[in-house]
Structure 1
Amino acid sequence: MTRLNLVLLLAVLFSALYLVRTQYESRRLYVELEKSAALSRQLESDKERLQVEKRAQATPLRVEQLSKERLQMRSATPAITQYVSYKNPAIAEGGVRE
């Protein structure tokens, strides 16, 4: 009888230690999951903020303004436009281009 009691006591102790270890691991994983979820929310917020900034920076008026100021570009007008035409008789007749 004492042997059976000793085996049962060891089984209860082993299962209690296993239960404590399992609960600890579960809590650790839950905390890690919450940290990952918080990081995900932060990244999503940053993504939305950057998309708003991108849309604000890419407006046609802003692009035109920056091209004039930084690149000294100007709008194309018919007075400064040059048209180039390429005349190749073989292409005009539907021939093979070499």
Structure 2
Amino acid sequence: RARMPYRMQFACFMLDGLLWIIFAFVVIYYTFEQTWLAYDNFAIVGGTDNVMEWWFYLATPLAWSLIIIRVIQNLIQDYQRYQRREPFVLQASLMD
């Protein structure tokens, strides 16, 4: 991406964000379906008396929902950088 023209970099960032959001919706749809199945069947975690499996299955759609929020935040930042003609952050840091 570093060698691409500025507009192509922006287009790649937008495509990247769109693909993340689409993939997240696919994951949420199918994991929510699995969670609902466990909820309907009153599935209990083995070795326990009243800990429902769906409580743990719910973590996956919730986590991917947080990923969608973060992707949207990054898209907004990239769009603002594009509007100000600032260079994009091409190498992400874990400390940002």
* Bin for the TM-score computed over the shorter chain: 0.3 to 0.5
TM score, norm. by length of structure 2 = 0.36
Larger Rg computed on CA atoms: 1
Higher helix share: 1
Higher relative contact order (CA 8 A, sep 6+): 2
TM score, norm. by length of structure 1 = 0.36
